[in-house]
Amino acid sequence: GENVEQHPSTLSVQEGDSAVIKCTYSDSASNYFPWYKQELGKGPQLIIDIRSNVGEKKDQRIAVTLNKTAKHFSLHITETQPEDSAVYFCAASGSNYQLIWGAGTKLIIKP
C-alpha cells in the first residue's frame, strides 16, 4: 500500500546549526508534498509545501527539496532557533488526494 517513511524519529541539534529531515514515498503518482509542524498542545500547522514540477522551494530559513526519480524529499532548516523545537511531519498526496503521512520527527534545539 501507499506509505511514507520519515527519518530520523528524533533529531537533536545545537542552536544555530542546520537540521535535515528526510522522507521517502512509495506512490510514484504523488504530486504534492507538504510539511507540517506540531508544537506541544497544538495541532499540526503547514510550514512549507512543494509540488512535483519543482525541485526546490525556500522560505526564509526553511527549504524543501524533491527528487521524484528517487521518490525522496527533505526539509532543511538553517540557523535553528529554540522556537524550531517541535514535531515535524512530512506527507505525500495519495489516491483520492488523501495525504499519506510520515511518523514524525521530534526536533530538539539545544541551547
By the rule CB under 8 A, 28 interacts with another protein = no
DSSP string of 21-69, one letter each residue: EEEEE--TT--EEEEEEE-TTS--EEEEEEETT-SEEEETTEEEEEETT
Q: Give the three-class secondary structure for 97.
A: helix
Residue 107 binds to another protein (criterion: CB under 8 A): no
Does the protein bind another protein through residue 97 (CB under 8 A)? yes
Q: Is 86 in the site for another protein (CB under 8 A)?
A: no
Residues 55/57/58/62 CA torsion (nearest 10 deg)? -90
The yes or no reply on residue 101 touching another protein (CB under 8 A) is: yes
Among the listed residues 13, 20, 32, 63, the single contact to another protein using CB under 8 A: 32
Judged by the rule CB under 8 A, the positions of this chain that interact with another protein are 4, 9, 31-32, 34, 36, 41-46, 49, 51, 89, 93, 96-104
